[in-house]
Amino acid sequence: MTNAPRHTALDALHRALGATMTDFAGWDMPLRYGSERDEHVAVRTRAGLFDLSHMGEITLTGPQAGQALDYALVGNLSALAVGRARYTMICDAEGGILDDLIVYRLADEEFMVVANASNAQVVLDAVTERAAGFDTVVRDDRDAYALIAVQGPASPGILKSVTDADLDGLKYYAGLPGTVAGVPALIARTGYTGEDGFELFVAPGDAEKLWQALTEAGADAGLVPCGLSCRDTLRLEAGMPLYGHELTTATTPFDAGLGRVVKFDKDGDFVGRAALEAAAERAESAPPRKLVGLIATGRRVPRAGFSVVAGGEVVGEVTSGAPSPTLGKPIAIAYVDAAHAAPGTEGVAVDIRGSHEPYEVVALPFYKRAR
């Protein structure tokens, strides 16, 4: 017997807008509303509106909430200032990545951990278990929030028209409580698109009112509703890793080129420390494979799992691939042997159903917005 998919508070609205729905991590989510290419371009040039209510929120409160997170995660979260957010990871004892996370410090004794939908239960269970020896309470807040994102260069102007919160003073990776279109919200300057933008955490009962208000506020700016399909091509162009593709329990943060998120200088032990110290040493002396960008010279699109080849030998594996609307060519992220990982390396190809298609090795990201 299969479990019925879960629905966000905006489900009826998505269907009324004609969205193509798909099952994603047990949730029925909008894949696209019309053309995913048009949605992608709208975010790069104007603004897009996303329902991200499938993400998993976990709240820790109490005098030792920060120390509990320092032990449970690889980052130094007790040093996070109130009102700021941090990208981090949770690893197993062997250093393998269980999930990548964003942690918000909402108050001196209150943190919110945001996990990927597919890993929310795993993260909740691990954090609950690891926090057991600390003076903190772990709360499953997955049903307490709907999450709406407005992303793209026009997003600050759109949001300003419906809130009196100080958006100009809100830095990237910061969050503040405010009111948006009359709805109480945590307003965070975060996103997964490579553009400026905001993620708004609100009560599920307020989600439809907020979505409609943002739709009206953004009409003249060219705001469009966006599905998960363009979110994937946007994050791919921006070189942002996706759990289950670039990040897995078989990879450490150092394998993924994200060793900077591991803070060995924090007080006390943390889960996976010894294994991660060994992984850091390995990465420095002889990285087995490196995460690189690949740009096609032809038109054929690589997909996750396809082999990267050079001189007739398999030298890597594609983790994500798609046509890039911004570059106008197929692109991929891949783990490639260090000998073939330098930008400009010649003779690298992707095996696409038996045909070795030439690809250019480039540094990530493929796309970086002008600041």
* Closest to 252 measured CA to CA, from 363, 94, 117, 86: 94
pLDDT at 72 over 80: yes
> Which has more pLDDT, 2 or 215?
215
Q: Are 324 and 348 in contact (CB under 8 A)?
A: no
Angle at 368 between CA 232 and CA 202, to 5 degrees: 55
> 196 and 88: one domain?
no
> 49 and 152: one domain?
yes
Confidence label for 371 from pLDDT (cuts 50, 70 and 90): confident
Residue 285 has what pLDDT? Answer: 87
> 230 and 312: one domain?
no
Domains identified in the chain, total number: 3
Residue 5 has what pLDDT? Answer: 93
CATH number for position 188? 3.30.1360.120
Residue 122 inside a domain? The answer is: no
For residue 163, the enclosing domain spans: 6-53+145-237
Residue 298 inside a domain? The answer is: yes
> 356 and 294: one domain?
yes
Residue 245 inside a domain? The answer is: no
Confidence label for 2 from pLDDT (cuts 50, 70 and 90): low
Backbone angles phi, psi at 217, to 5 degrees: -65, -30
Q: Are 290 and 333 in contact (CB under 8 A)?
A: no
Residue 36 has what pLDDT? Answer: 97
CATH number for position 351? 2.40.30.110
Residue 288 has what pLDDT? Answer: 78
Q: What is the pLDDT of residues 202-254, one digit of tens each?
A: 999 999 999 999 999 999 999 999 999 999 999 999 999 999 999 999 999 99
| Among candidate residues 214, 237, 260, the one where a domain is terminated | 237
> 199 and 307: one domain?
no
Strand partners, 184: 179
Confidence label for 301 from pLDDT (cuts 50, 70 and 90): very high
Task: State the Cα–Cα distance between residues 41 and 50, nearest whole angstrom.
Answer: 14
Percent of the chain with pLDDT strictly greater than 70: 99
Q: Give me the mean pLDDT over the 94-117 stretch.
A: 98
> 62 and 35: one domain?
no
Q: Give me the mean pLDDT over the 52-68 stretch.
A: 98
> 281 and 307: one domain?
no
* Closest to 345 measured CA to CA, from 359, 331, 357, 355: 359
Q: What is the pLDDT of residues 121-176, one digit of tens each?
A: 999 999 999 999 999 999 999 999 999 999 999 999 999 999 999 999 999 999 99
Task: State the Cα–Cα distance between residues 77 and 114, nearest whole angstrom.
Answer: 14
Task: State the Cα–Cα distance between residues 327 and 331, nearest whole angstrom.
Answer: 8
pLDDT at 362 over 80: yes
> 203 and 154: one domain?
yes
